[in-house]
Structure 1
Amino acid sequence: MHPIFLRLGPIEIRYYGLMYVISFVLGYFIVRAEARRRGVFSQPDDVLDLFLVVIPLGILFARLYYVAFQWDWYRSAPWEVFMIWHGGLAIHGGIIGGVVGLLIVARWKRVPFWRLADAVVPALILGQVLGRIGNFLNGDAFGTPTNLPWGIVFPASSPAGATYPGLPLHPAMLYEALGNLLLFALLWKLRTRPAKDGFLAATYFIGYGAVRFACEFFRGDALWLGPFRAAQVVSVLLIMAFGTWLLVGRLWRPAHAGPTILP
């Protein structure tokens, strides 16, 4: 773990933030290419407008979601609410903010919401891969103690090391990064398949729900909803909702399939 990428006097550039910047840059080019291929936007600047709306809302909701579940701690240190470089962005909150942003842009640009979502989700899951690498370098989103040979002892200065000093932990953030990378590969392969609007987005929500549900068993900093892990509750709801829509709507079929011509 090495959280600081570069220090220039009082200015610090952390890997945590750097990974997000890289994901935004890569995501911009992926979304631009996918939006053009799907015929979503008519102007090149539309993608930039999309990012200017979605990214701030995603970060804001990701932070609010995390703070809401940890309010007992933030109540005693309210200034920490604004210090996102210390960690504390919940992806489910970020997804909520992203969906709100997509709804705004879809209405603003007068484009089909689910077609726009299909253009965005490959970039989103790739950004999540890089985000989890940032978590690793920052020492947050960590796992529970383990005796497995790949267990990692994090420095005491990190959130993981402060919670479990001197103990080897599951690299839960890397487990999720690997699962997200596999999901990205699947979405990238399916993106050119003729299907109804929303097929790729539904596949993303189902796939990420499954990845997060499994990885949450190893998390040592889980957010709790009563006796249940909040991320697992949300993941189950996502899988059920989008799985039902995928099956009932038969989203994998082309939207305008022509009649079958027999010889």
Structure 2
Amino acid sequence: MEFNFNPVAFSIFGIEIRWYALIIIAGMLLGTYFAKKEFVRRGFDEDFVYDVLFVIVPIGILGARFWYVLFEWDYYSLNPIQILNIRAGGLAIHGGIIFGLLALYIYGKKKNLPFWDMADVLIPSLVLGQAIGRWGNFMNQEAHGGPTDLPWGIIIDGVKVHPTFLYESIGDMVIFLILINWRKNNPDKGKISATYFIGYGILRFFVEGLRTDSLYIGSIRTAQLISIIFVIVGIIIFYISDKNNLPPYFKEEKVVKKEEKIINFK
């Protein structure tokens, strides 16, 4: 299968709007919809999700850019003005996840809201956004793998390669469906987040091994190293959640009455 798409969807006053951006935005909007429904189910005002996203999304984008620049510093140290040129590409999802969660933690501390409860609501939406967003890579004909003879390979620049964007998109969607259905049973706090770390860590580790555009620390693929860390962190969180031994701040029970609804964080 050979695809030749114009990555530019349309232009406004001479500014190109790319399919990549539109697909990322679509993923964010759909993810917001699911997070909003869950926050409302837990008794929050329906606009609460926007307050949270207003904080974590910009920080996540900055983190994704910082992460990419950090591991491509040989280039950016010689071309510092290009650090600001996000339109030229260069966002690393691991940086976005780490910085976004850090922003969520700080937000929770300031608002006296439990971090893991909010994370368990937002993380299924995150992985849904990842599943959709990977199709932006397809439109840009990037983030693909090396040569393959498999029948589902796609042809890019005359070479049949692994559609690694598709592998990760399918895997992310499976993780999303598992999390969104399990969440209905109100599992112990932290378990939804832990399962994401484990599942996405394993998925990305193997997909990254097929890609040709990896960031490196020496001879080690950065994304594979972080994926291993994600799996370890996920196992630890799952264990302490199962033992009901999360840090004290996250164990506090908070009951908030609002519009005759009860929010019960356990």
Cα distance change on mapping 1:64 and 1:10 into 2, 3 Å? same
Aligned counterpart for 1:218 among listed residues 210, 223, 226: 210
Matched, 1:97 2:89: no
Deviation at 1:229, TM superposition (A): 1.1
Equivalent residue of 1:7, what SS?
strand
1:76 maps to what in 2?
78
1:138 maps to what in 2?
140
Deviations 1:80-132 (A, max 9, x none): 32232332211110001111221122123221110000010111001001111
Matches within 5 A, 1:229-244: 229-244=221-236
Cα distance change on mapping 1:147 and 1:200 into 2, 3 Å? same
Matches within 5 A, 1:29-178: 29-39=33-43, 41=44, 43-154=45-156, 165-178=157-170
CA contact (8 A) 1:152 1:168 kept: yes
Equivalent residue of 2:94, what SS?
helix
1:197 maps to what in 2?
189
CA contact (8 A) 2:190 2:237 kept: no
Deviation at 1:251, TM superposition (A): 6.7
Aligned counterpart for 1:11 among listed residues 15, 37, 50: 15
Deviations 1:189-218 (A, max 9, x none): 111123221111111111110110110111
Gaps of at least 5 residues in structure 1 are 155-164, 257-263
Q: With the length of structure 1 as denominator, give the TM-score of the two structures.
A: 0.85
Task: Give the 4+ runs in structure 1 shifted more than 4 A.
Answer: none
Gaps of at least 5 residues in structure 2 are 245-250, 254-266
2:32 maps to what in 1?
28
Q: Bigger shift: 143-152 or 207-216?
A: 143-152
2:200 maps to what in 1?
208
How many residue pairs get matched?
Answer: 242
> Which one has a larger percent strand, Structure 1 or Structure 2?
2
Equivalent residue of 2:155, what SS?
coil
Opposite residue 127 of structure 1, the aligned amino acid is G
CA contact (8 A) 1:14 1:85 kept: no
Equivalent residue of 1:192, what SS?
helix
Cα distance change on mapping 1:173 and 1:144 into 2, 3 Å? same
Inter-partner Cα distance in structure 1 for 2:56 and 2:217: 27
Query: Aligned-residue CA RMSD in angstroms?
Result: 2.0
2:247 maps to what in 1?
none
CA contact (8 A) 1:121 1:201 kept: yes
Equivalent residue of 1:6, what SS?
strand
Opposite residue 227 of structure 1, the aligned amino acid is S
Inter-partner Cα distance in structure 1 for 2:90 and 2:147: 20
Identity %: 42
